[in-house]
Amino acid sequence: MRDRITLQVARYRPEQESEITFDEHEVPCPKDWVVLDGLNHIKDRIDGTLSYRWSCRMGICGSCGMTVNGEPKLTCATFLADYAPGPLRVEPLRNFPVIRDLIVDIGDFMRKLVRVKPWIVRQVEKPLSEGEYLQTPEELDEYKHYSMCINCMLCYSACPIYGLDSKFIGPAAIALAQRYNFDNRDHGAAERMDVLSEHEGIWGCTFVGECTKVCPKHVDPAGAIQRYKLTAAMESMKSFFLPRGA
């Protein structure tokens, strides 16, 4: 078994280059090293200028998403040895503007997230002294998987619709809207409806479900989108028969 592997790492330094180039480095490849360990080895031992994001190294902070051999991956959860004998190509996530090297600009998602109102909406709040809002384990299960989104952006990177038209609000934001819509403590579904249906993107989304396939946390954004379409279709039928009051 080879004990080293070659990484082809995308470089883009806007002050120096007008487009992406690749650096090649050979790094150790013990069986428990992940792609991120390889990048850290390059940064610490070979080239201190390589830039990328990372933090928890346990698949929960959502920082280290990159494109590995063409697929969006959390690099902390992707073993180097799985790509032996290599070489292995590491690029920034697709469908986002690249700021530098492996770092992409996710500002677009951050602005969209606010628009879907990802917080509990209720007309009347009960005081804390009256205790918790009851929620049975079955009610929790209704939305729990949507609440597991770590905002890692792999789904946006995989989404063919977002790739063509970045106005599409996108898989994670819709899943998070549904996380609240299906929470029995929330009454905000009607307020979120307009934002979700304003762009035709959601109707262009097919059952292919690239977003669900790449999601490292089994959030199933594609399922969230399909459930939304059903709700929206029902609402639009209702509004056809019962026009909104003035």
Partner 1 sequence: MTPTHDVVMVGGGGAGLRAAIAIAETNPRLTIAVVSKVYPMRSHTVSAEGGAAGVIAPDDSLDEHAYDTISGGDWLCDQDAVEAFVKEAPQELLRLEHWGCPWSRQIDGRIAVRPFGGMKKQRTWFAADKTGFHMLHTLFQTSLKFTSVVRYDEWFVTRLLVGDGRVQGVVAFDLKSGKIEAITARAVILCTGGLGRVFPFTTNASIKSGDGMALAFRAGAPLKDMEFVQYHPTGLPFTGILITEAARAEGGYLINKDGYRYLQDYNLGKPHPEPVLRSMELGPRDRLSQAFMKEMEKGRTIETPYGHVVHLDLRHLGARKIDAKIPFVRELCMKYQNLDPVKDLIPVRPVVHYMMGGVHTDINGATPLPGLYAAGEAACVSINGANRLGSNSLPELLVFGARAGRAAAEYASRGLEIDSRIFAQKTDEHRRIEHDLLNKQGGERLADLRDEMQKTMEASAGIYRNGESLIQGVEKMRRLQERFAHLAIEDHSKTFNTERVAALELGFMLDVAEAMLSAAARREESRGAHQRTDFPMRDDQRFLAHSLAYRTSEGSTRIEYLPVMITRWPPAERVYGEAAAHAGSHHLAGSAVSS
Which spans of this chain sit near partner 1 (rule: CB under 8 A)? 13-16, 31-32, 43-45, 47-49, 51-63, 77, 99-101, 103, 105-106, 110, 113-114, 117-120, 125-126, 128, 131-137, 139-140, 143-144, 147-151, 176, 180, 183, 185-186
Question: What is d(CA 212, CA 200) in angstroms, rounded to the nearest whole number?
Answer: 20
Comparing CB distances to partner 1, the nearer of 56 and 230 is 56
Burial track 124-163 (b if 16+ CB lie within 10 A, e otherwise): eeeeeeeeeeeeeeeeeebbebbbebbbbbbbbbbbebbe
Q: Minimum CB separation from partner 1 for residue 227, in Å?
A: 18
Can you spell out the DSSP letters for 40-109?
A: HHIIIII-TT-------SSSSS---EEEETTEEEEGGG-BGGGGTT--EEEEPPTTS-EEETTEE--HHH
Q: How far is the CB of 2 from partner 1 (least distance, A)?
A: 18
Contact by Cβ (8 Å): 120, 185: yes
Output 189 or 205, the one with its CB closest to partner 1: 189
Minimum distance from residue 110 beta carbon to partner 1 (Å): 7
Within its chain, how far is the Cα of 197 from the centroid?
20
Could you tell me if 29 and 81 are in contact, meaning their C-beta atoms sit under 8 angstroms apart?
yes
Residue 152 beta carbon to partner 1: minimum distance, rounded to whole angstroms:
10
Q: Which is nearer to partner 1, 115 or 229 (CB)?
A: 115
**Given the complex with partner 1, which of 108 and 161 has the nearer CB atom?**
108
Output DSSP code: residue 46. Answer: I
Tokens found for residue 74 = 């959390």
Identify which of residues 167 and 185 has a Cβ nearer to partner 1 in the complex: 185
The residue with tokens 């509990």 is 120
**Least distance (Å) from partner 1 to the CB of residue 242?**
30
Please say which residue, 195 or 229, places its beta carbon nearer to partner 1.
195
CB of residue 113 to partner 1, shortest distance in Å? 7
